[in-house]
């Protein structure tokens, strides 16, 4: 019995319905399909007509039944065109939207995390959709409901991205180019995380021996089946490894970009530190000038009082006022420099926290790369088991052929 990796990785259709353009099977939509869907819309999702949006969605979730892989799995690329889906009636769109809603509870239910024990007795966390977060309005059709849920999902995603940007402390303190680079890197990381969701470890079923068949078997059919079993696992394994390699390349690009940003952040930190040091030196110099002028002013006042010079009271008062104005002006300058110094220090603190957060993200994606490596090793192990099983099957077929010759 050959292990079909494709069956472990692929999902079957939600349901199939008869339409004016033939029997269509409804599947879910992946991240790539969502991106292409929004690119191909004539206007923004908020300005789109609900029925038109569902028609465009059908291109990526509906497939003719005769085009399915192995008669039940989703093809790699969309089959229907915009012209095809334009022939679907309102009732057919209503049925398709209803099927899609029923099989995607995350659109309208709240995800709750709970704890339970697994088979080994370990406490694990698991997510479950229970409470309805976005109920259907009275007399709201499936088309309108799915359209509204799609808009809410886009808004939720935008809010999540905004929260990510806000969580980056002091992002506004960097230069414009560096800020844009950080945002682009975070977006790349978010996309990469979603792509990782489609790659999970494979649960290997137990391999059982093949029961001996009677001698009146079709050896030609056995040879064909043997060849199909020999090639199918390698094709599926190759496709899976291609996906892992592509995701690994994306993760590597992300880490390279993060390292570049860390270098630029460090450069700006150094420039900010140099500026702070320059302000500190000016502050010390001006403080010395203030002290010197204060001493000079007091000395002049004391000298005029003691020596009994010819300055009258008005001239003495004017001199004192001038000295006070100078002292006040320099004090204001000193205070402003202290404020600037405080702001510079705050900026340095924010940048330090930012570096810690970027380093944390870098470690996360290093862990993802390690998971990739582990999964590739698991798939290679499955490949080795497939080879061993094929060799075993070949041996049994040869034994059957020899037995057949002996009986003849």
Instruction: Kindly report the CATH class assigned to 168-408.
Output: mainly alpha
Q: Would you call 190 exposed, middle or buried from its count of C-beta atoms within 10 A (0-12, 13-18, 19+)?
A: middle
- Per residue in 89-140, pLDDT (tens digit) is 999 999 999 999 999 988 998 877 777 777 777 777 667 778 888 999 988 9
pTM of this structure: 0.45
DSSP 3-state of 72: coil
Minimal CA–CA distance to 83: which of 55, 63, 57, 62?
55
- Per residue in 313-359, pLDDT (tens digit) is 666 677 677 767 777 777 777 777 777 777 767 777 777 777 777 77
Q: What region, left, alpha or beta, does residue 71 occupy, with left being phi > 0 and alpha being psi -120 to 50 degrees?
A: left
Minimal CA–CA distance to 45: which of 161, 125, 148?
148
- Per residue in 359-392, pLDDT (tens digit) is 777 777 677 777 777 777 777 777 777 778 788 8
Domain ranges in the chain?
1-103, 168-408
Order of strands across the sheet that contains 15-19: 15-19, 22-26, 62-64
At 314 the pLDDT is 60
């Amino acid at each position: 019995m050959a292990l079909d990796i494709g069956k472990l990785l692929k999902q079957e259709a939600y349901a199939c319905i008869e339409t004016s353009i033939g029997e269509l099977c409804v599947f879910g939509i992946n991240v790539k399909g969502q991106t292409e869907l929004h690119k191909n819309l004539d206007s923004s999702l908020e300005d789109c007509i609900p029925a038109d949006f569902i028609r465009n969605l059908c291109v990526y979730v509906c497939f003719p039944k005769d085009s399915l892989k192995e008669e039940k799995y989703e093809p790699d690329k969309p089959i229907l065109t915009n012209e095809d889906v334009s022939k679907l009636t309102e009732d057919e769109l209503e049925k398709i939207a209803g099927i899609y809603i029923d099989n995607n509870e995350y659109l309208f239910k709240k995800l709750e995390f709970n704890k339970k024990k697994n088979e080994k007795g370990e406490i694990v966390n698991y997510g479950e959709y229970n409470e309805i977060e976005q109920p259907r309005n009275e007399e709201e059709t499936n088309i309108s409901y799915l359209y509204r849920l799609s808009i809410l999902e886009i808004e939720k995603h935008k809010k999540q991205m905004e929260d990510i940007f806000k969580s980056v402390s002091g992002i506004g303190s960097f230069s414009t180019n560096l800020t844009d680079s950080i945002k682009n890197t975070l977006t790349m990381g978010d996309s990469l995380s979603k792509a990782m969701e489609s790659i999970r470890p494979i649960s290997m079923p137990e391999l059982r021996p093949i029961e001996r068949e009677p001698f009146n078997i079709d050896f030609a059919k056995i040879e064909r089946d043997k060849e199909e079993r020999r090639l199918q696992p390698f094709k599926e394994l190759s496709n899976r490894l291609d996906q892992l390699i592509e995701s690994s390349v994306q993760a590597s690009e992300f880490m390279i970009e993060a390292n570049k940003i860390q270098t630029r952040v460090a450069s700006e930190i150094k420039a900010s530190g140099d500026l702070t040091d320059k302000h500190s030196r000016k502050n010390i110099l001006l403080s010395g000038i203030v002290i010197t002028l204060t001493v000079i002013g007091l000395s002049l006042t004391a000298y005029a009082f003691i020596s009994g010079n010819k300055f009258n009271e008005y001239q003495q008062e004017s001199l004192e006022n001038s000295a006070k104005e100078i002292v006040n002006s320099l004090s204001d300058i000193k205070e402003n420099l202290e404020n600037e110094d405080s702001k510079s220090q705050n900026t340095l603190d924010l940048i330090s926290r930012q570096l810690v957060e970027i380093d944390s993200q870098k470690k996360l994606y290093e862990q993802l790369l390690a998971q990739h490596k582990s999964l590739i090793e698991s798939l290679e192990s499955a490949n080795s088991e497939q080879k061993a099983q094929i060799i075993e099957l070949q041996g049994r077929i040869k034994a059957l052929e020899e037995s057949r010759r002996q009986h003849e």
